[in-house]
Amino acid sequence: MVLQAILTTLILAAPAGNEAPPAPGTVGHYAVLTCRVDTPPPIGSVDIICGPREDVRNTTSVWWQLDIRANADTNTAPLVQVRALTDRMPLASGNAPLRFERYLVRVPQAGETLEYRNLHTGRAWLPGWGGFQDHFVPRQARGAARQTGLPETGEYLGHVLTLRSTGKNARWDAWADAKVLDLDPELLVGTGRAFKDKEGHRLPQTPKPQDYTYLPFTEEDYRVMFDAGINLFCVEPQHEQLVRTRPAFYIRGAGDGKTALQYPADLYRSNYLGPVMFMDEPAILLIADKNTQGKLGCSSAAAAALERRVRAGYHSSDDYGRYALERPNSGKRINTGDMRLDQFDFPAWETLYETAHYQMRGGCNGIVHEGRYQLADFDKAVAKFTHNDRKHTAEQLLRYHYAFLRGGTRPFDKFWGTAIYGQCDPAIAPKAVTLAYDMGARYIWYWTSDHDHHLLWVEQMELTRTLRKHAAEHPRKSIFGPKPVTDTAILLPDGFIASMEGLPWVPAPGNDPTKGEALQKYQRLMERLMTSVQAACDRNEDFDITVDDGREIAGYRKVVRITE
């Protein structure tokens, strides 16, 4: 009998696998237990309020709200309030992710109430932090018993929640003042700077390069950019308020003093992407590094070194790392317990588009090419290998570059795009942005600053208007969905970087017979690649260029292997 009583007690205390959700109006008051020694938690308490039921898409969903405070006093204004409509309560048992139908955030100190939606689906768009549902939404801790339908112990922001009290009949009022932000995560258009040129016209760059005069964006400039279709901004902290309540994404650092990032409130803003816009030119930095200069003797060495450099930098808290927000700011560090502040969704910004596959294999989430597209230069470079002075079209030039970008990212289900530079032929630039969109690019960026690299602000606006008009007239399928079947995949040998330029790993002729053999192999592979590309162009085929590294090649009607 004693044993039976003990077992009965344990069964009653264990969380049910399919427990009934708390009744509407139920509220749980949780204190926060820090998970770092001798370090206070970043917040003091969390209240969770169970709201009404609502039928959505033939399924009953439930509203809930988090009130997150700096202390335990429920009379103080919350740091942030989060309200959502999901298929079940967040503190229910089980590990299945919640299905969000709506997602709203209120920041009392800023006087802002915002609802975030995906422009294309009309459904909730959540912040992009890695593990958002695991860390920014409370979860039931293992072994937790329940009171009034709520667990006694939870996990949240890398710390532990402990239930202090429960209540009933909590008031639930609609947030009638919420501003809806319809965000487009499938096409990110913008520049990496928060300033523009004063001149408004191109400066001659010969016989001596001239730089432009740069002016910070004004409130009126932001209005012009919003109207044109820019939806990605790098902002100085003091200008964040001009962007964060608009249907656009923004990037900013942690700031300091009055402009400091507000934790955790600002990380609940779905249009705040984090402090990093891109990883800066991994392949170019590999070439320029004095530690590798003269040592990149072959293409495979460069490919292997590049892959590992990307992996080391991307999975770090360095300037271009996914964990950059974890670094101490002004000598202080956010107490995140065992949680990682993971901004994983950003690309490399790169000149050497031919390295896309190896950078994706290193872990980066995408690649944007530095577009300086010039037909005469392209024709001359191709003729070196084909020995044919063929005149290509602008579309053929662009398809060659984009084939590496799309082909390099597709095997990893990652993203690509192009950035238009001042050196790009102005006659090609409109085709560059619209064709990139048609081929599935996620990023259309512009370079601002640095002499002839700079693309005039007025040209950025005109290209953006052209792109937005084209996109409205030619809607495409979601880039987050299954990839469309493409005509041809052109496969390069693993370790080979098909560069048309004189880079360190491109063999040079000389007295060493091994270098001569390497040069002949390189020229053969490049000639076969160019011949295959031109044949695909002549047949009006849509093609990708990728690496034959043993992965399954799927989604193509034909495969062409470039071999010895």
CA–CA distance, 212 with 416 (Å, rounded to integer): 29
52-82: b (≥16 Cβ within 10 Å) or e: eeeeeeeeebbbbbbbbbeeeeeeeebbbbb
Say yes or no to pLDDT of 122 above 80: yes
- Residue 16: its pLDDT value, please? 41
| Mean pLDDT over each residue of the chain, to the nearest integer | 93
| Per-residue confidence band for 94, with pLDDT thresholds at 50, 70 and 90 | confident
DSSP, collapsed to helix, strand or coil, labels residue 249 as strand
Instruction: Say whether pLDDT at 324 is over 80.
Output: yes
Mean pLDDT of 356-372: 98
Start-to-end CA distance of the chain, whole Å, equals 80
- What pLDDT is attached to residue 517? 85
Give residue 302's pLDDT. Answer: 96
Average pLDDT over residues 346-369: 98
Evaluate if residue 513 carries a pLDDT over 80.
Answer: no
pLDDT score at 2: 42
Q: Is residue 483 helix, strand or coil?
A: coil
Interval 455-487: pLDDT, tens = 999 999 999 999 999 999 999 999 999 999 999
CATH architecture for segment(s) 184-486: Alpha-Beta Barrel (3.20)
The three-state secondary structure class of 404 is helix
The per-residue pLDDT for 15 is 39
Q: Which residue from 263, 225, 237 is spatially nearest to 79, judged by alpha carbons? A: 263
- In terms of pLDDT, which residue wins out, 556 or 8? 556
Q: What is the pLDDT of residues 414-429, one digit of tens each?
A: 999 999 999 999 999 9
- The confidence score (pLDDT) of residue 307 equals 98
Please say whether the beta carbons of 318 and 343 come within 8 A.
no
Please compute, for residue 209, the number of CA atoms within 13 A of its CA located in the half-sphere on the CB side.
Answer: 9
Which pLDDT does position 5 carry in this prediction? 44
Q: How many residues does the chain have?
A: 564
Distance, CA of 374 to CA of 351 (rounded, Å): 14
Tokens 């001042």 — which residue? 422
Burial class (CB in 10 A: 0-12, 13-18, 19+), 177: exposed
Q: With beta carbons less than 8 A apart as the criterion, state whether 507 and 522 touch.
A: yes
DSSP structural state of residue 124:
B
Per-residue confidence at 1, pLDDT binned at 50, 70, 90? Answer: very low
Predicted local distance difference test score (pLDDT) of residue 514? 62
Delimit the domains of the chain by residue range: 2-179, 184-486, 487-561
pLDDT above 90: percentage of residues in the chain:
87
Task: Check if the beta carbon of residue 269 is closer than 8 Å to that of residue 105.
Answer: yes
Contact between 288 and 319 (Cβ < 8 Å): no
Q: Give pLDDT tens digits for 160-197.
A: 999 999 999 999 999 999 999 999 999 999 999 999 99
pLDDT band at 330 (very low <50, low <70, confident <90, very high): low
For residue 274, pLDDT over 80 is answered with yes
Q: What is the pLDDT of residue 510?
A: 65
Distance CA 143, CA 134 (A): 17
8, pLDDT greater than 50: no
Average pLDDT over residues 112-119: 98
> Is residue 221 predicted with pLDDT exceeding 70?
yes
pLDDT at 70 over 90: yes
Record the tokens describing residue 20, joined without a space: 């009934």
| Contact status, residue 226 vs residue 248, Cβ threshold 8 Å | yes
Examine the pLDDT at 14 and tell me if it is beyond 80.
no
> What average pLDDT score do residues 8-24 get?
56
Q: Which two tokens stand for residue 260?
A: 């400091």
> How distant, in Å, are the alpha carbons of 112, 117, 364, 425 from that of 184?
21, 9, 21, 28
Q: Is the pLDDT of residue 7 over 90?
A: no
Bridge partners of 29, per DSSP, are 47, 165
- Tell me the percentage of the chain whose pLDDT exceeds 70: 95
Structure tokens at 296: 């990149």
CA 279 to chain centre: 11
Average pLDDT (233-260) is 92
Report which of 168, 170, 138 is spatially closest to residue 153, judged by C-alpha positions.
138
CA distance 445 to 430: 13
